[in-house]
Amino acid sequence: MTVSIHQEQQHDRKAVWKLNRISFGSETEANLVNDLRTDGFVSVSHVAECDGRIVGHILFSRLQIMTAVETVEAVSLAPMCVHPDFQRQGIGSQLVNAGLEACRKQGHKVVVVLGHSDFYPRFGFSAELAKRLESPFGGGDVWMALELVPGSLDGIKGRVEYPPPFDAFK
């Protein structure tokens, strides 16, 4: 099986919507992807392609951390998915690695994620690092942050403001 990871193209959009719906079992994440695109919040959107079929997708969108003294720019990893028939074969990991590299190249310094606590730490995400960041979706071990530039969250304590398309999850 040969899998290639590349930037989402306009003609991939329909397949990306369907893949999100199938993988999450609902249209909420699929519509979130469309809304983030339409509203211009997307930083990185990559797909995994296998034999001409889109089998994985990852998206990073811009958000802000509001501290008492400043606004810190960051990105959120959400959503990401791999087709149920293709899971546990390393495709999700390839998407995360490629996506983080693309974010790094764009100059992003901080990434936050709300997700599987046994998956994201292997890429450097840490719940400890996210403890001083207040998420509208709650905290705990599923709420994690990653510094693409070491030390970027030093002394940062504040509230994370997701863009409006995420209101569908509140």
Q: Which residues bind ligand COA (CB under 6 A)?
A: 23-24, 79-82, 87-93, 115-116, 118-119
Q: Say how many residues make up the chain.
A: 170
Residue for token pair 């720019």: 73
Q: Which residue is nearest to ligand COA (CB)?
A: 92
Which amino acid does the sequence have at 59?
L
Lookup: tokens for 10: 């306009």
CA distance 110 to 20: 25
Q: Which is nearer to ligand COA, 79 or 165 (CB)?
A: 79
Closest CB to ligand COA among residues 43, 76? 76
Nearest-approach distance from CB 5 to ligand COA, in angstroms: 12
Q: Is the dihedral of CA 118, 140, 128, 81 positive or negative?
A: positive
Angle (nearest 5°) at CA 153 between 151 and 154: 65
Q: Which is nearer to ligand COA, 48 or 129 (CB)?
A: 48
Distance of CA 4 to the CA centre of its chain: 19
Task: Locate 21 and state its tokens.
Answer: 């719906």
* Closer of 107 and 136 to ligand COA (Cβ): 136
Minimum distance from CB of 62 to ligand COA (Å)?
18
Shortest Å distance, C-beta 47 to ligand COA: 13
Smallest distance from ligand COA to CB 81, Å = 4
